[in-house]
Amino acid sequence: MIPRIYIPGDSGSLALGAEKVAKAIRAELAERGIEAKIVRNGSRGAYFLEPMVEVATANGRVAYGPVKPADVKSLFDSGFLTGGHHKRWLGAPDKIPFLAKQTRLTFARCGINDPLSLDAYKSLGGLKGLQNAVAMAPADIVKQVTDSGLRGRGGAGFPTGIKWKTVLDTTSERKYIVCNADEGDSATFADRMIMEGDPFVLIEGMTIAGIATGATKGFVYIRSEYPHAVATMNKAVEIARKAGVLGVNVLGSPNAFDMEIRVGAGAYVCGEETSLLNSLEGKRGVVRAKPPLPAIQGLFGKPTVINNVISLASVPIIMDKGAAFYKDFGMGRSRGTIPIQIAGNVRNGGLFETAFGLTLGEIVDDIGGGTATGRPVKAVQVGGPLGAYFPRALFDTPFDYEEFAKRDGLIGHAGITVFDDTADMLKQARFAMEFCAIESCGKCTPCRIGSTRGIETIDRLAAGIEPEKNLALVTDLCNTMKFGSLCALGGFTPYPVMSSITHFPEDFKPAPARVAAE
């Protein structure tokens, strides 16, 4: 049997040099006259080990990483094609602690095989959920998703089954499934990883959503910064169509469902569902007032399910293994698993899928391994640019929607950014206001004007001008933005600002004191 070498081809691994490694391996194979099959898989998500090259041996897969092109010759000399030892040797991939500790439900297949091999997808349990769904009544599918406790992974944590029920119960000759793949939050890459590493699971989830709600057409709205995801999804849709997974008779059933890929134009606010719908319709990406809910009047005025990539990609396993199986994971009202994306100044950056309930400290210290710089962790921002900064004192907070909300935080899309003790939280608070000012769609005053006034006020604080008055002004402004904004861009910007002020008051002292303290 000819050797089989797996080299990730997803954009994260490419950014870390996977293409150069692939080129070096090909050249070495040619030079040594060895015939081998190179498979371009996705990433398993341990990005601190990427590019992670794997070889299939008689005793299973053996991984090496992070591999540099300069390592390639010595890898061959060490007999890596049969799993030989080398300084980059990691052993069996599923025994690598970062991967072994995970509970992979949604990401069960991600990074293992060629993402565009439908046979490989099926060989690892793919399409079983859809097969079950085509034999069920729509209301039963919706019930199963509701019973699983799945909540939207895009940020708001709204129960997926309830959203689907609204669309199912709304009569219309046309309904849509829209997948939100705008993934604009800082530190997040779960959607990209799935689209590039296991695209069929998203197609399967969207098709199930269509059958469950009576929608026959779906769109995936992918951010323009994800060209590899766009290319992979386009190819996967074509393959799924040819194989009869999509089309007029899904898996040979009377159900019809087809989908298309659409590319965004680079606005954070277009991740907000109504703004996304406007953008998808070819209009300016401005937020729409609700009601009407998109589930009743969404894309082109028709009932529309809008779900995040991970919400939809979690549905196949629910339809395969059952609601009770999924619901068994997690804590409180946060059921199932969540792909936590660990980034920023952290030693072990990557995606960690686990049941809800791990504490923030376990995630940052034990799994993330602390900061990459080796300095103490000062703050962790959870939930993207609109998420709160948590100090070490809150590291006992379990990863759970309600537990984070109790402490004035949010989980969002489960991205966490780690900062060491050199971070200046006043600058971070200013950045939050600046981000809001730049990304504001401009529809409502608290966000459009408030964010700019916020920057000016924080600048006055930094300059030591009337600190007490300006601190009170920022607090007042944050309240206005929180309660007066039309959407969560203006409404949540107070989280990073107020958490910085509350947990790191020393960083907001007048400038001379701050300089003296340094």
Ligand X SMILES: Cc1cc2nc3c(=O)[nH]c(=O)nc-3n(C[C@H](O)[C@H](O)[C@H](O)COP(=O)(O)O)c2cc1C
- Interface residue list for ligand SF4 (CB under 6 A): 269, 287, 440-444, 447-448, 485-487, 489-490
With CB under 5 to 8 Å by kind, the binding choice for 215 among ligand SF4, ligand X, none is none
Compute the least distance from the CB of residue 281 to ligand SF4, in Å: 17
Residue that the structure tokens 């200013």 belong to: 430
C-alpha to C-alpha distance for 417 and 345, rounded to whole angstroms: 7
Compute the least distance from the CB of residue 181 to ligand SF4, in Å: 19
Compute the least distance from the CB of residue 358 to ligand X, in Å: 21
Residue nearer to ligand SF4 on the CB measure, 274 or 314: 274
HSE-CB of 284 using CA atoms within 13 angstroms: 6
Compute the least distance from the CB of residue 45 to ligand X, in Å: 19
C-alpha to C-alpha distance for 517 and 507, rounded to whole angstroms: 9
Phi, psi of 354 (to 5 degrees): -155, 160
- CA-derived radius of gyration, the chain: 24
Compute the least distance from the CB of residue 462 to ligand SF4, in Å: 24
Phi, psi of 341 (to 5 degrees): -105, 115
C-alpha to C-alpha distance for 240 and 199, rounded to whole angstroms: 10
Residue nearer to ligand X on the CB measure, 109 or 153: 153
With CB under 5 to 8 Å by kind, the binding choice for 295 among ligand X, ligand SF4, none is none
C-alpha pair distances (Å), 419 with each of 388, 402, 502: 13, 24, 17
With CB under 5 to 8 Å by kind, the binding choice for 156 among ligand SF4, ligand X, none is ligand X
- Cis peptide leading into 51, omega within 30 of 0? yes
Residue nearer to ligand SF4 on the CB measure, 238 or 281: 281
With CB under 5 to 8 Å by kind, the binding choice for 497 among ligand SF4, ligand X, none is none
Residue nearer to ligand SF4 on the CB measure, 300 or 483: 483
Q: Cβ of 138: how many Cβ atoms within 10 Å?
A: 18
Compute the least distance from the CB of residue 351 to ligand SF4, in Å: 28
Residue nearer to ligand X on the CB measure, 307 or 457: 307
With CB under 5 to 8 Å by kind, the binding choice for 400 among ligand X, ligand SF4, none is none
Compute the least distance from the CB of residue 156 to ligand X, in Å: 4
Compute the least distance from the CB of residue 371 to ligand SF4, in Å: 33
Question: Going edge to edge, which strands form the sheet with 176-181?
Answer: 258-263, 217-222, 176-181, 304-308
Residue nearer to ligand SF4 on the CB measure, 414 or 486: 486
Compute the least distance from the CB of residue 463 to ligand SF4, in Å: 27
With CB under 5 to 8 Å by kind, the binding choice for 448 among ligand X, ligand SF4, none is ligand SF4
- Cis peptide leading into 391, omega within 30 of 0? no
Buried residues in 46-70 as b, exposed as e (16+ CB within 10 A):
bbbbbbbbbbbbeeebbbbbbbebe
Compute the least distance from the CB of residue 182 to ligand X, in Å: 4
**Of the candidates 191, 226, 225, the residue with the CA atom closest to the CA atom of residue 205:** 191
Residues facing residue 60 across a β-bridge: 57
Residue nearer to ligand X on the CB measure, 158 or 483: 158
**Of the candidates 315, 307, 115, the residue with the CA atom closest to the CA atom of residue 228:** 115
Residue nearer to ligand SF4 on the CB measure, 129 or 450: 450
* Residues that bind ligand X in the complex, under the rule CB under 6 A: 152-156, 158, 180, 182-184, 268-269, 271-273, 306-308, 311, 487-489
Contacts of 207 (CB under 8 A, 6+ apart): 130, 133, 218, 245, 246, 250, 257, 259
With CB under 5 to 8 Å by kind, the binding choice for 204 among ligand SF4, ligand X, none is none
Residue nearer to ligand X on the CB measure, 104 or 153: 153
With CB under 5 to 8 Å by kind, the binding choice for 155 among ligand SF4, ligand X, none is ligand X
Q: Crossing angle, helix 227-242 and helix 190-197, to 10 degrees?
A: 40
Distance of CA 54 to the CA centre of its chain: 25
Residue nearer to ligand SF4 on the CB measure, 241 or 448: 448
With CB under 5 to 8 Å by kind, the binding choice for 430 among ligand SF4, ligand X, none is none
With CB under 5 to 8 Å by kind, the binding choice for 182 among ligand X, ligand SF4, none is ligand X
Q: Which helix (H) or strand (E) holds 79?
A: none
